[in-house]
Amino acid sequence: MDEERYEVRLSGSGGQGIILAAVILAEAAGIYEGHHVCQAQSYGPEARGGKCKAEVVISDNPIDYPKVTQQDMLLAMNQAACDAYFFDFKPNGLLLVDSTLVEQLPTSRVVAIPFTQIAREKTGKAITANMVALGAIAHLCPLVKLKSMESALKIRVPKDTRDMNLEALKAGAKAARAINLASLPRSIIPQEEEEI
């Protein structure tokens, strides 16, 4: 719809660090890459559990409407979030799922990486799965470099967890690099239909 906007939605359940991941992404894109960014979120009154989503809109022009209109990228950290937030996906968008927790995929334009499993193996803490996912986003989102993401992460996380989170971030980026994006269909709309 609006080609100058790049819209990312991160979703999961409360407590998975979805909002922190979105803030780091926004900071990387806004402060370190110099784009205009808007980061918004919605969550229920629960402290943990419950659906949670956070959105980041990135653009080279000032951003008026601060929320997602059509997603260029959706991160789903569990099945419930994947089901709930897939609805306004762009035909050429990219779905990024934690394959440890998401089994049913609603589209073929999907990158499935076991974020939670990688987090357990690399840092011994499943809670760093959000940073693993962020590392994958750094590789897959054309507007943010891994280096900017690292700089933003260093400032946003508590000092004593910095190394652990950085390790998780790098593991995520590495896992994403191993994916062959060219093998994905270009659009989820079949070629014939698109031409009509």
Partner 1 sequence: MASNRKKKTVLLQGNEAIVEGALAAGCRFFAGYPITPASEINELMSAKLPGLGGTFIQMEDEIASLGAVIGASLAGVKSLTATSGPGFSLMQENLGYACIAEVPCVIVNVMRGGPSTGLPTSPAQGDVLQARWGTHGDHPIVVMAVSSVSDCFSVTVNAFNISEKYRVPVIILSDEVVAHTRETITLSTPETVEVVDRITPNVPPEWYLPYEDNSRGVPPMAAMGDGYRHHVTGLIHDAHGYPTQRPKEVEAFTRRQFRKITNGFYEIQQVKKFHMDDAEIAVIAYGAVSRSAHRAVVRAREQGIKAGLLQLITLFPFPKTAVVSALRQCNTVMIPEMNMGQISREIKRVNQEKTKIIKHNRIDGQFITPDEIYDKLLRE
What is the binding site for partner 1 (CB under 8 A)?
Answer: 2, 23, 26-27, 30-32, 36-45, 63-67, 69, 152, 155-156
Rounded Cα gap, residues 54 and 9, in angstroms:
6
CB nearer to partner 1: pick between 69 and 108: 69
DSSP 134-164: HHHHHHH-TT--HHHHHHHHHHHS-GGGHHH
Q: What is the DSSP letter of 31?
A: I
Tell me the closest approach of the beta carbon of residue 38 to partner 1, in angstroms. 5
Tell me the closest approach of the beta carbon of residue 32 to partner 1, in angstroms. 8
Handedness of CA 144, 178, 128, 124 (dihedral sign): negative
Tell me the closest approach of the beta carbon of residue 19 to partner 1, in angstroms. 10
CB 76 within 8 A of CB 98: yes
CB 83 within 8 A of CB 13: no
Tell me the closest approach of the beta carbon of residue 148 to partner 1, in angstroms. 11
Tell me the closest approach of the beta carbon of residue 122 to partner 1, in angstroms. 25
CB 12 within 8 A of CB 81: yes
Reported as type and span, the H/E element at residue 76 is strand 71-76
Cα separations (Å) of 131 from 30, 43, 110? 18, 20, 19
CB nearer to partner 1: pick between 26 and 102: 26
CB nearer to partner 1: pick between 53 and 122: 53
CB nearer to partner 1: pick between 55 and 98: 55
CB nearer to partner 1: pick between 31 and 127: 31
